[in-house]
C-alpha cells in the first residue's frame, strides 16, 4: 500500500482523522470543525519525531530543505513542456504532496499570474510599493482555479464521478471547467438571481448541471450538505482542505516575484473566509522551511452588508460569530455565515493583521480606480483597495511599507456592474452621497453620436481639455 504523504488534522480539537473515515462534509465528527492538511515529514505543527513517510515525489524529507535548490527548481519548471511543471500550482508540488500519483493531476495551466506595480495608487497614496497580485488572470478568471486543480485532482484520484459545490459564481465556474477536463460530472447550486451573468454562463458553457435555488448562498450550502450525505458526490466548497493547498500557491509566487522579500502586508477579500488562511498557511510554511524569514500581516476586508467577521472581531474579539443576512452588490462575497471564519481569525492573529469593511460606494470607487490603472477586477476584489485606504488612514500601514492587494476575480466576470457604475445607475443617492465627487470624476459613460467625424473630433477636443 502506498503511504499517504499527508494527514488531516482538525483545526478545533487537533485530532488526526484516517482518510478513510473522513466525512463527506469535511467536518470533524467530534467537534464539527474543519480540517487542515499537514505533512508529517515537514509541517511545523505535526508531532515531533513523526513517522518519516517515504513519499515518492515529495522531495522534502525530514531535515531542512535545500532552499536555493527548491527556488531554482520551481523557477526552472516554468520552461518545461510538462503540464505539471507549467501549472503555477503544481510546479510547487513539493509543498502540496496530496496525490498518490501525479498522473491524476487535472490542470488548465493555472497560476503564474502577474504581480502588478500599482503606480497610480502609489502616486495617490504616497506609498511607493503597492502591488496587485491578479488571480483573475487564471484560466476561468478567478483565484478559485488554484484550489480547484488540487481538490478536483483528489476527487479524480479517489474515483468519484460527480463533484458539487454551492457557489456565488466563481467556484462553480472553476469546478465545472476542471470537471469537464477530467471527464467528470459537476453539480452547481447557486442562489437564484444573485450571481453575475459571466459566472453563470461559464458553468453552462463547461457543462455543469446548474441549479438555481430560491435562497441565498448560505441556503445553497445548507441544501448541498444534505445532498452530499445522500449521494456519492464529492464536495468542492472551500471546507474541502485540499482546495486550500492549491490556494497557497499565490503566496509562493508573490515571494518568488518579489525576489523572496516578503511584503509587509497582504490584503485579501473575505467571503466564506478560506482564502486568507490558505495564503497564511503558505507564508507560515515558507518561513518554517527557511524559504523566507518572516510573514506578512494578513488583513481581510468584507463588504459592509456581508460583514460577519468584521463584527465578530469588533464585538466578540473573534471568539464568536453571529451570522448576518448578507447583502452587497459584490455578489462573490455575499455570504452571511462563512464556513471558515475560525481559520480566518487564527491567521489574522498569527500574522498581526486586521479586519476592515467597505461600503457599496467605497467598493465601486475602488474598482474604478483599479480599472483606471489598466488592471481591472471584479467588485469583490476591489474591497482590498478600500482596506488599503482605511489601514493607511488609521496609521496601520505606513507609506514606507510594501503592500500586496490580492485581486481575486477578472473585471469581465461582472460587466453589468461596471456598466451600471459608469451609467450612474449602480448606487442609490444615499449610498453615493459620501463619495459623490470622487465617483463623478471616475465615471466614463459612453457617448452616442451620429456617424460624423466632426462630432467625434469635438468630443476628442473636449476630452483632451480634461
Question: What residues have CB less than 8 Å from 131, skipping those under 6 apart?
Answer: 115, 116, 117, 118, 258, 263, 402, 403, 404, 405
Instruction: Count CA atoms within 13 Å of residue 180 on its CB side.
Output: 16
- For residue 22, the minimal CB distance to ligand F0G (Å) is 21
- Taking CB under 6 A as the criterion, the residue among 270, 318, 353, 371 binding ligand F0G is 270
Of the candidates 138, 455, 194, 466, the one whose C-alpha atom is nearest the C-alpha of residue 334 is: 194
- For residue 153, the minimal CB distance to ligand F0G (Å) is 19
- Is-contact 397 129, C-beta < 8 A? no
- Which three cell numbers, joined as nine digits, stand for 139? 484560466
Strand order through the sheet with 7-10: 16-17, 7-10, 35-38
Q: Is 299 one of the binding residues for ligand F0G (CB under 6 A)?
A: no
Burial degree of 396 (CB within 10 A; 0-12, 13-18, 19+): middle
What mask, x for binding ligand F0G by CB under 6 A, covers residues 55 to 94? ----------------------------------------
- Taking CB under 6 A as the criterion, the residue among 176, 184, 251, 274 binding ligand F0G is 274
Size of the site for ligand F0G (CB under 6 A): 22
Q: What is the DSSP secondary-structure string of 375-389?
A: ----HHHHHHHHHHH
- For residue 409, the minimal CB distance to ligand F0G (Å) is 3
Show contacts with ligand F0G in window 321-350 (CB under 6 A).
332-333
The C-alpha angle 317, 319, 323, rounded to 5 degrees, equals 100
- Taking CB under 6 A as the criterion, the residue among 269, 296, 336, 387 binding ligand F0G is 269
- For residue 266, the minimal CB distance to ligand F0G (Å) is 13
Grid cell 497614496 in the structure block, residue: 125
Nearer to ligand F0G among residue 139 and residue 409 (C-beta): 409
Q: What share of the chain is helix, strand, coil (3-state, %, to 5)?
A: 45, 15, 40
- For residue 264, the minimal CB distance to ligand F0G (Å) is 22
Show contacts with ligand F0G in window 223-262 (CB under 6 A).
238
- Compute the distance between CA of residue 118 and CA of residue 96 in angstroms, rounded to an integer: 31
Q: Which stretch binds ligand F0G (CB under 6 A): 50-58, 268-276, 347-355, 440-448?
A: 268-276
- Which three cell numbers, joined as nine digits, stand for 299? 488583513
Nearer to ligand F0G among residue 58 and residue 328 (C-beta): 328
Reduce the secondary structure of 198-224 to three states and give it as a string: HHHHHHHHCCCEEEEECCCHHHHHHHH
Nearer to ligand F0G among residue 291 and residue 407 (C-beta): 407
- For residue 271, the minimal CB distance to ligand F0G (Å) is 3
- Which three cell numbers, joined as nine digits, stand for 25? 462534509
Nearer to ligand F0G among residue 241 and residue 271 (C-beta): 271
Nearer to ligand F0G among residue 55 and residue 418 (C-beta): 418
Q: Which stretch binds ligand F0G (CB under 6 A): 30-38, 105-113, 221-229, 263-271?
A: 263-271
Nearer to ligand F0G among residue 154 and residue 244 (C-beta): 244
- For residue 260, the minimal CB distance to ligand F0G (Å) is 26
- For residue 326, the minimal CB distance to ligand F0G (Å) is 11
By beta carbon distance, the residue nearest ligand F0G is 271
Q: How far is CA 123 from CA 377, 407, 433, in A?
A: 20, 20, 25
- Taking CB under 6 A as the criterion, the residue among 28, 98, 273, 392 binding ligand F0G is 273
- Compute the distance between CA of residue 265 and CA of residue 432 in angstroms, rounded to an integer: 29
Question: What residues have CB less than 8 Å from 427, skipping those under 6 apart?
Answer: 360, 361, 364, 421, 439
Show contacts with ligand F0G in window 140-179 (CB under 6 A).
142, 144, 167-171
Q: How far is CA 233 from CA 86, 154, 173, 208, in A?
A: 29, 13, 17, 13
- For residue 169, the minimal CB distance to ligand F0G (Å) is 5
Nearer to ligand F0G among residue 43 and residue 408 (C-beta): 408
The conformational region for residue 355 under phi > 0 = left, psi -120 to 50 = alpha, else beta, is beta
Q: Which stretch binds ligand F0G (CB under 6 A): 177-185, 201-209, 265-273, 352-360?
A: 265-273
Reduce the secondary structure of 334-358 to three states and give it as a string: CCCCCCCHHHHHHHHHHHCCCEEEE
- For residue 299, the minimal CB distance to ligand F0G (Å) is 13
Nearer to ligand F0G among residue 58 and residue 272 (C-beta): 272
- For residue 380, the minimal CB distance to ligand F0G (Å) is 4
- For residue 114, the minimal CB distance to ligand F0G (Å) is 17
- Is-contact 240 343, C-beta < 8 A? no
Show contacts with ligand F0G in window 373-432 (CB under 6 A).
378, 380-381, 408-409
- Is-contact 449 455, C-beta < 8 A? yes
Nearer to ligand F0G among residue 34 and residue 332 (C-beta): 332
Interface contacts to ligand F0G, rule CB under 6 A: 142, 144, 167-171, 238, 269-275, 332-333, 378, 380-381, 408-409
Amino acid at each position: 500500500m502506498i503511504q499517504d504523504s499527508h494527514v488531516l488534522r482538525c483545526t478545533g480539537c487537533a485530532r488526526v482523522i484516517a482518510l478513510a473515515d473522513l466525512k463527506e462534509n469535511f467536518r470533524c465528527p467530534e467537534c464539527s470543525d474543519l480540517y487542515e492538511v499537514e505533512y508529517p515529514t515537514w509541517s511545523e505543527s505535526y508531532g515531533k519525531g513523526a513517522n518519516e513517510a517515504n513519499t515518492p515525489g515529495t522531495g522534502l524529507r525530514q531535515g531542512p530543505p535545500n532552499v536555493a535548490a527548491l527556488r531554482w527548481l520551481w523557477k526552472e519548471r516554468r520552461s518545461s513542456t510538462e503540464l505539471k511543471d507549467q501549472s503555477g500550482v503544481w510546479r510547487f508540488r513539493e509543498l502540496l504532496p496530496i496525490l498518490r500519483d501525479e498522473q491524476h493531476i487535472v490542470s488548465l495551466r493555472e497560476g503564474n499570474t502577474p504581480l502588478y506595480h500599482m503606480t497610480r495608487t502609489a502616486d495617490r497614496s504616497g506609498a511607493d510599493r503597492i502591488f496587485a497580485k491578479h488571480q483573475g488572470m487564471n484560466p476561468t478568471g478567478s483565484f478559485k482555479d488554484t484550489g480547484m486543480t488540487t481538490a478536483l485532482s483528489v476527487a479524480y484520484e479517489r474515483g468519484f464521478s460527480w463533484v458539487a459545490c454551492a457557489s456565488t459564481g466563481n467556484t462553480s465556474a472553476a469546478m465545472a471547467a476542471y470537471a469537464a477536463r477530467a471527464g467528470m460530472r459537476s453539480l452547481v447550486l447557486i442562489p437564484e438571481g444573485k450571481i453575475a451573468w459571466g459566472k453563470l454562463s461559464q458553468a453552462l458553457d463547461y457543462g455543469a448541471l446548474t441549479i438555481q435555488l430560491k435562497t441565498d448562498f448560505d441556503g445553497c450550502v445548507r441544501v448541498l450538505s444534505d445532498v452530499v450525505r445522500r449521494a456519492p458526490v464529492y464536495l468542492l466548497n472551500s471546507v474541502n482542505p485540499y482546495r486550500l493547498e492549491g490556494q497557497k500557491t499565490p503566496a509562493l509566487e508573490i515571494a518568488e516575484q518579489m525576489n523572496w522579500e516578503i511584503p509587509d502586508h497582504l490584503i485579501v477579500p473575505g467571503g466564506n473566509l478560506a482564502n486568507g488562511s490558505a495564503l497564511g498557511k503558505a507564508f507560515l510554511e515558507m518561513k518554517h522551511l527557511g524559504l523566507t524569514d518572516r510573514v506578512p500581516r494578513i488583513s481581510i476586508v468584507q463588504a459592509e452588508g456581508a460583514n460577519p467577521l468584521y463584527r465578530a472581531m469588533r464585538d466578540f474579539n473573534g471568539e464568536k460569530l453571529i451570522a448576518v443576512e448578507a447583502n452587497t452588490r459584490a455578489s462573490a462575497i455575499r455570504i452571511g455565515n462563512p464556513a471558515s471564519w475560525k481559520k480566518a481569525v487564527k491567521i489574522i492573529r498569527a500574522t498581526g493583521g486586521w479586519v476592515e469593511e467597505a461600503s457599496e460606494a467605497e467598493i465601486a470607487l475602488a474598482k474604478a480606480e483599479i480599472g483606471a490603472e489598466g488592471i481591472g477586477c471584479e467588485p469583490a476584489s476591489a474591497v482590498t483597495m478600500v482596506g488599503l485606504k482605511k489601514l493607511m488612514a488609521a496609521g496601520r500601514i505606513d507609506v514606507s511599507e510594501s503592500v500586496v492587494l490580492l485581486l481575486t476575480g477578472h473585471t469581465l466576470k461582472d460587466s453589468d456592474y461596471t456598466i451600471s457604475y459608469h451609467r450612474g445607475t449602480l448606487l442609490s443617492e444615499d449610498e453615493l452621497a459620501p463619495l459623490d465627487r470622487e465617483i463623478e470624476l471616475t465615471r466614463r459613460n459612453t457617448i452616442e453620436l451620429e456617424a460624423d467625424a466632426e462630432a467625434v473630433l469635438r468630443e476628442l477636443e473636449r476630452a483632451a481639455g480634461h
